[in-house]
Amino acid sequence: MRMKSSIMLGLTFVIVSSIITRITSDSQAEELLERCSRFKVTTDLSIFLGSVNKTLGDMRKQLSNAQFATTYETDVFGMAQCRNYLSTADCLACFDAGVTQIRRKCNAVVDAAHFIYQGCFLRYGIHNFYKEITFENPVLVCSYNQSVAEPSIFSPIVQGLLTGIVAATPKIKNYFAAGKRQVFSNGATLTVYAVAQCVETISQSDCRSCLTRIYTNLKTCLPQPGGSFAEAGCFLRYSDSSFFAESHITNITPYIGGSSSAKRLIPGIVGGLCFLFLIIASALWYQLVRKAKLAERGDVLRVTQLQVPVIYRYRDLKSATKSFSQDYKIGEGGFADVYKGITETGDVVAVKKHALTSDKAKADFKNEVRLISNIHHRNVIRLLGCSHKGSELLLVFEYMANGSLDNFLYGEKHGTLNWKQRADIILGIARGLAYLHEEFHSCIIHRDIKSSNILLDDGFQPKIADFGLARLTMEDRSHEISSKYVGTLGYTAPEYAIHGHLTEKVDTYSFGIVVLEIISGLHCTDVKIESVNNSLLDYAWKLDEDEKHLDLVDEKLDPNEYDTEYVKKIIDIALMCTQLPASRRPAMSEVVVLLTS
């Protein structure tokens, strides 16, 4: 009966989706992205099919009253969004077109689907993607088959309009803005239309960083008359043709303007808020460590949408780890051990147990909680909650099924990663570091990037972990901090290890070393080939000088899997990241561009 009901639900959706109303403007139905992904479905297939259909059905109901929808059924998360200038009928038509295309192009049931149009997008998957703002291959579409009359005038108009709506959109309640700008030149009128939109489940800072990044990419379309850029968390479009009604134009002046007197007040307000934040943070920390007030039991894997960690009952986590059994132990460090935990609801988590026997251990624990409580990025490990008993403090993280990267490079699983997995891991680490350095509200320097601190989920998506040594920097990122050296020899930049000079380029250096390890399958200090200092970096530079880049590639890799020129390019990028002085190293955002261009 369960299978029959799922099949009936599937047939119903196919029939409903095939009888759709046309979207009023063909441009709104232009498809920008179609993606069908397969992962491992852990539930019964009939239950999963029913959840997919219920998710799609519930989102359609929500779109009848709003432009944004999220829903969750058993093991299936869903999200859909229409551009705010679409009518309800056009919004539903766009959504229905997407459902139809999913049924048609994905052929069979898949575990995740993401379809983006000019007028809307819809997405479902088996993991919680509500906070995601990036995905591997963002979508850029330019109108290359057309041209504008006066490019030298048109381009500045577009940039001026886009700059305004990108600045305003994160400050608007539903993260949407539409604008129009006209200029008269040589007896003709040049008109530009633009919209910006973020998904409503991300933070204001994530909306801002997402739009700022895609604006930089969208500018490459100029002076073409139109362009669109779509990311997981935001969308930006401009055109010399109208694609929305005048009534939907947003007055962005209140969000980007302001008097000089108001601007003079900002530093004082910010300073006051920072002081207030410190007081609140101190109070919260006191409650956590000294009073250990316990919150009501919650589903650990559902708290990731909160901006602060949830306090869980110590006895629940002790039970989840079988009293911190050695059989459940999955990692250890100088001040903490990590255990696999299985909660009463069946959720799998990682529990990091700190024994606060020293001031150093206490400082590391406090640092880790403070830094990663508000970090939400697909390539950075997520903190789910905390617990406390006596001298023991516990951190609860999302569980990484495949453990740490070093085990796949030169550990027990050496040689099991194929080239595509390695390339994806390199790009994922770069994106995670770019987020920490440039997209988070403060620049975070990790200080201990190494293969053992890169964790892999069940799809081999990399996550940067272990923030015990991380540091926040000044807003002026060119500022060099003098700091006592902490980290791991072999991965640490010379200017930091020797002189204590700390900038985000220290992480860039470590990233370059990790990339060389990923390509070679060798540990950075355990090279079995003669080199000047018996180091992987020296060996890589020597091969570069001799133009023998490919001698560095892991012998376990199948040569038919990779393009030799792309491998050389990645090796060159890794060496760029290890250059001296530090100023010659690229920013991590530049590394992401180099890897994806």
Domains within the chain, CATH numbers bracketed: 2-125 (3.30.430.20), 139-257 (3.30.430.20), 292-398 (3.30.200.20), 406-596 (1.10.510.10)
* Unique residue bearing structure tokens 């119903």: 12
Q: Which two tokens stand for residue 176?
A: 């949407």
Residues in CB range of 538: below 8 A, 6 or more apart: 531, 532
Tens digits of residue pLDDT in 375-409? 788 899 888 888 877 777 888 888 888 989 999 99
Residues written for the chain: 597
Q: Which of 250, 254, 166 is nearest to 207 (CA)?
A: 166
Residues in CB range of 327: below 8 A, 6 or more apart: none
Decide: helix, strand or coil at residue 502.
strand
Residues in CB range of 237: below 8 A, 6 or more apart: 118, 194, 195, 226, 227, 228, 229, 243
Q: Is the dihedral of CA 102, 103, 106, 112 positive or negative?
A: positive
Q: Which two tokens stand for residue 524?
A: 């950075």
Q: Which two tokens stand for residue 203?
A: 């933070």
Longest alpha-carbon distance in the chain: 80
Question: Dihedral, CA atoms, 489, 492, 495, 498, nearest 10 degrees?
Answer: -20
Residues in CB range of 43: below 8 A, 6 or more apart: 51, 74, 75
Radius of gyration over alpha carbons of the chain, in Å? Answer: 26
Q: Which two tokens stand for residue 40?
A: 């491992």
Q: Structure pTM?
A: 0.50
Query: What is the C-alpha to C-alpha distance for residues 129 and 232, in angstroms, rounded to an integer?
Result: 9
Give the other-Cβ count within 10 Å of 322's Cβ. 14
Q: Which of 501, 498, 588, 577 is nearest to 537 (CA)?
A: 577
| Helices 2-18, 45-63: inter-axial angle, 10-degree rounding | 40
Amino acid of residue 233: G
Percentages helix, strand, coil for the chain (3-state, rounded to 5) are 45, 20, 35
Quote the pLDDT of residue 506. 92
Quote the pLDDT of residue 437. 87
Q: Would you give the distance in Å from CA 155 to the centre of its chain?
A: 30
Residues in CB range of 228: below 8 A, 6 or more apart: 32, 118, 139, 140, 141, 218, 235, 236, 237
Quote the pLDDT of residue 1. 37
Q: What is the DSSP string of 335-377?
A: SEEEEEEE-TTS-EEEEEEEE--SHHHHHHHHHHHHHHTT---
Q: Which two tokens stand for residue 138?
A: 């963002």
Strand partners, 140: 229
Q: Would you give the distance in Å from CA 118 to the centre of its chain?
A: 22
Tens digits of residue pLDDT in 423-443? 999 999 999 999 888 877 778
Give the other-Cβ count within 10 Å of 333's Cβ. 14
Tell me the average confidence (pLDDT) per consecutive run of 10 residues in the chain, 597 residues long: 38 37 54 78 70 90 93 86 94 92 74 89 88 85 79 86 92 93 76 95 91 91 91 94 91 67 40 48 48 36 44 83 84 74 82 71 64 79 80 83 90 90 94 87 84 90 79 45 61 84 91 95 74 75 88 90 91 93 90 87
Q: What are phi and psi of 60, to 5 degrees?
A: -65, -40
Quote the pLDDT of residue 102. 85
Measured distance between the N- and C-terminal CA atoms of the chain, rounded to whole angstroms: 51
Give the other-Cβ count within 10 Å of 370's Cβ. 15
Q: What are phi and psi of 440, to 5 degrees?
A: -70, 160
Query: Angle at Cα 176 formed by Cα 172 and Cα 180, nearest 5°?
Result: 105
Strand partners, 383: 397
Q: What are phi and psi of 181, to 5 degrees?
A: -140, 135
What own/partner pairs with CB < 8 Å and gap ≥ 24 does 311-316 have?
311/385, 311/386, 311/387, 311/388, 312/385, 312/386, 312/387, 312/394, 312/396, 313/387, 314/387, 314/388, 314/389, 314/392, 314/394, 316/343, 316/344, 316/387
CB 80 within 8 A of CB 102: no
The residues that are catalytic are 448
Quote the pLDDT of residue 415. 86
Quote the pLDDT of residue 481. 46
